Amino acid sequence: MTLTEPDSVHTEHTPLSEEHLTVLGDRLRSVLDGTYATERAVGRATFPAEGMLRDPSLDVEASREWTLGRLLELERHGFGHAGVPEGANSVSDPLTAVMAFEMLAHGDLSVTIKSGVQFGLFGGAVTNLGTDWHHETYLPDITSLKLLGCFAMTELGHGSDVQSLETTITYIPETDEYEVDSPTAAATKAYIGNAAKDGTMAAVFGQLIVDGVGHGVHVVLVPLRDESGADLPGITTGDHGHKGGLLGVDNGTIRFSRVRVPRRMLLDRYGGVSVDGVYASPIDNPNRRFFTMLGTLVRGRVCVGGGAGIAARRALSIAVRWGLTRHQFPAAGRPDGVLLLDYLTHQKRLLPRLARAYALGFAQNELITDLVHVQGPTPSTEEEQRSLETHAAGLKAMTTWFANQTVQEAREACGGSGYMSENQLVEMRRDVDIFATFEGDNTVLMQLVTKALLTDYRKEWSELDRTGVVQATARVAGDAVAEATSAGLVLGALADAVRRRPEETTLVDRRWHALMFDERARHSLEALARRMRAAAKVRGDQFEAFNALGDHVQFVARAYMEQRVLTAFVDAIDALPAGETREVLERVCSLYALQSIHDDRAWFMEHNRITSGRSKAIGAQINDLCRELRPHALSLVEGLGVPEKWLGAAILA
Residue 399, exposed/middle/buried by CB under 10 A (0-12, 13-18, 19+)?
A: buried
In whole angstroms, what is the distance from residue 176 CA to residue 605 CA? Answer: 66
Residues in the chain: 653
Least separation in angstroms between residue 542's CB and a copy of itself is: 4
Q: Angle CA(464)–CA(562)–CA(412) in degrees, nearest 5?
A: 145
Least separation in angstroms between residue 253's CB and a copy of itself is: 5
Least separation in angstroms between residue 438's CB and a copy of itself is: 7
Least separation in angstroms between residue 406's CB and a copy of itself is: 14
Which residue lies nearer to a copy of itself by CB, 429 or 564? Answer: 429
Which residue lies nearer to a copy of itself by CB, 274 or 328? Answer: 328
In whole angstroms, what is the distance from residue 316 CA to residue 439 CA? Answer: 24
Least separation in angstroms between residue 304's CB and a copy of itself is: 14
In whole angstroms, what is the distance from residue 523 CA to residue 517 CA? Answer: 10
In whole angstroms, what is the distance from residue 63 CA to residue 57 CA? Answer: 9
Which residue lies nearer to a copy of itself by CB, 126 or 217? Answer: 217
Residues 6+ apart with CB under 8 A from 364: 302, 305, 306, 309, 395, 399
Q: Which among 269, 226, 271 has a CA at the least distance from the CA of 133?
A: 269
Angle between helices 37-46 and 94-104 (to 10 degrees): 50
Which residue lies nearer to a copy of itself by CB, 411 or 511? Answer: 411
Residues 6+ apart with CB under 8 A from 479: none
Least separation in angstroms between residue 419's CB and a copy of itself is: 4
Residues 6+ apart with CB under 8 A from 565: 359, 360, 362, 363, 395, 398, 592
In whole angstroms, what is the distance from residue 123 CA to residue 620 CA? Answer: 51
Least separation in angstroms between residue 121's CB and a copy of itself is: 15
H/E segment holding residue 261: strand 259-262
CA distances from 145 to 111, 138, 139, 302 (A): 13, 11, 10, 23
Which residue lies nearer to a copy of itself by CB, 76 or 334? Answer: 334
Least separation in angstroms between residue 293's CB and a copy of itself is: 19
Which residue lies nearer to a copy of itself by CB, 37 or 338? Answer: 338
Question: Contact at 8 Å (CB) between 590 and 508?
Answer: yes
Least separation in angstroms between residue 435's CB and a copy of itself is: 11
Question: Contact at 8 Å (CB) between 269 and 130?
Answer: yes
3-class DSSP assignment, residue 28: helix
Least separation in angstroms between residue 208's CB and a copy of itself is: 20
Count of CB atoms situated within 10 Å of the CB of 620: 10
Q: Which among 400, 410, 399, 373 has a CA at the least distance from the CA of 388?
A: 373
Which residue lies nearer to a copy of itself by CB, 240 or 288? Answer: 240
Least separation in angstroms between residue 564's CB and a copy of itself is: 23
